[in-house]
Structure 1
Amino acid sequence: MPHATSPRIPPLPIDELEPDQRKLAKLGADTVIQVLARNPELMKASSDLGAYLLSQSRLLPRLRELAILRVALRCDAPYEWANHVPAALGAGVTEAEINALTDPEASWAPEDDAVLQAVDELCAAAFVSDETWARLAATRDHAEVIEVLYLVGYYRMMAGFLNSAGVAVKPGQPVLGERVEPRPAGEATPVTRPSSGRTGADGRWDITFTHPAGSKPLVLDLQTAGAAVRGSITDGRLGVTVPIVSGTVEGGHLEFTAELTEPARFDIGVTGTIDGDVFTGSVTISGGGTFPFSGTRAG
């Protein structure tokens, strides 16, 4: 399909974005936010729907990302592909599955195949055939089928916008349809073991979790009272601090949850173990996957 070979709408510089727009851009796909920011009312409406589909959808994150990548292929949308390959890997899609999206002879589980066939039909004719509809309905309720239709429609719309506006892929990002090579097994960043002599969870912790799109630092401020955990999680890059809404501690094992509401809504779950001044475990982001983390006591 044809698409602009150079930007037709210049991205608004980051320092000219409104604070909430800047935070949204820092979540990822910053170039598209910088372009959409030239129509801020539309950007907010579009971002709200996109955030719902990514973080609150009834569809499993893995299947959602497979569908988005298939839309990118069928609509020849390089930017969409480049930004959703890391998201797909984070959501549990394997490199082999991503590569299979370009193979017409690939074999899929029936529930996956029904969704991918629906993507193909919607992109080709804006209609799901009776046969494919029956296959979708065999494993999904009406609400889930509606979400499949909306997901495909949203990313078809975005593909048309991205291709026509000439939103550019950044150097080093995945290239549309090219083979994705296997990655080393995901592991938390190794940490040097400090020794403050302190025990327990209370205090500040600097942690880093590992995502296919890149590592991300967070700051945890934890307070315990009996078996309860409270405190906050801070993303310094976004400039956002969110409270821990529930949590428990038993010995050195902690589990707690925080809710991010701005610039988009996500639940963040942390499960980990403290050994002296070292904290290791996993971070789960609603709709985004589970990723290892490691960190150390900072205060």
Structure 2
Amino acid sequence: MRKRRGGQFINLDRMLLHSVPIAEGWNHFIGNVRQQLSLDPKLRELGMCGVAVLNGAEYEFFHHAPPFLKAGGTQAQVDAMRHLGEDDFDPTPFSLLERDVLELTLQMTRTIQVNSELMKRLQVALGNTVLVELVTVIAAYNMVSRFLIALDIHPEDQAPKA
């Protein structure tokens, strides 16, 4: 865990380490989700940030907005994401594919059921492997956000390095 974090523990790690088996399994699974997928990093981080906003997990957004920007996202997209799921959400900063990723994130997070037409569009755009990876990222980060919120884990004092 420390190696994956560049020698540093973050508040999430400190909480996970109350149970070594959980920390080890989490680190392996989330490490693969973050670093071993063929999914475009921008789409990965878009899904993660979307989950964070929808679930009110500021910690998660704090840690994933910088990598989203590093992967090619824009500040306008970050600002717009803050309103995902609200009436005033403005999708114009996002491509059609990114809008579909955000819609998938919204449906998986809010209702769990996903519209079949949306899944068909994403399957055509991404292919089976990448679609499975995207769904897994969204599902995994719903788990992360629920853990963070239930245990009242807050962002560190300084913004993470991208």
Q: Shorter-chain TM-score: which interval?
A: 0.7 to 0.9
Which runs of 5 or more structure 2 residues have no equivalent in the other structure? 84-88
Say if 2:158 is the partner of 1:213: no
Q: Higher strand fraction: Structure 1 or Structure 2?
A: 1
| Pairing partner for 1:77 from 37, 57, 63 | 57
Quick one: distance in 1 between partners of 2:143 and 2:13? 15
> 4+ residue runs of structure 1 moved beyond 6 angstroms?
none
Pair 1:139–1:31, CA change in 2 (3 A): same
The alignment's TM-score, normalised by the length of structure 1, stands at: 0.49
1:114 aligns with 2:62: no
Cα deviation digits, residues 164-210 of structure 1 (max 9, x gap)? 1111212354xxxxxxxxxxxxxxxxxxxxxxxxxxxxxxxxxxxxx
Are 1:149 and 2:97 an aligned pair? Answer: no
Q: Which whole-Å CA distance do the structure 2 matches of 1:102 and 1:132 have between them?
A: 22
Residue type matched to 2:68 in 1? A
Name the CA shift for 1:170/1:42 in 2 (closer, same or farther; >3 Å): same
- Of 122, 147, 156, the residue aligned with 1:161 is 147
Check if 1:95 corresponds to 2:75: yes
CA contact (8 A) 1:25 1:31 kept: no
Q: In structure 2, give the amino acid aligned to 1:85.
A: A
What is the 5 A alignment of 1:1-299? 21-26=1-6, 30-103=10-83, 104-107=89-92, 108-173=94-159, 213=161
**Secondary structure of the structure 2 residue equivalent to 1:113:** helix
In 2, the alpha carbon distance for the partners of 1:29 and 1:77 equals 19
The structure showing larger relative contact order (alpha-carbon pairs under 8 Å, at least 6 residues apart) is 2
C-alpha change, 1:29 and 1:67, in structure 2 (3 Å) is farther
Q: Does the CA-based 8 Å contact 2:47-2:102 persist in structure 1?
A: yes
Q: Once the two structures are aligned, what percentage of the paired residues are identical?
A: 22
SS at match of 2:108: helix
Cα distance in 2 for partners of 1:97, 1:36 equals: 31
CA–CA separation in structure 1 for the residues paired with 2:120 and 2:7: 37
8 Å Cα contact 1:72-1:78 kept in structure 2: yes
User: TM-score w.r.t. structure 2 length?
Assistant: 0.87
Instruction: Provide the alpha-carbon RMSD of the alignment.
Output: 1.9
2:141 and 2:8 map into 1 onto residues whose CA distance is 16
How many residues matched?
156
Residue 150 of structure 1 deviates from its aligned partner by 0.6
Maintained 8 Å contact 2:10/2:156: no
> Which residue identity is paired with 1:38?
H
Q: Which has the higher helix share?
A: 2
Contact 2:91 2:99 in 1 (8 A): no
Give per-residue Cα distances to partners, 1:232-259, cap 9 Å, x unaligned: xxxxxxxxxxxxxxxxxxxxxxxxxxxx
* Contiguous gaps of at least 5 residues in structure 1: 1-20, 174-211, 215-299
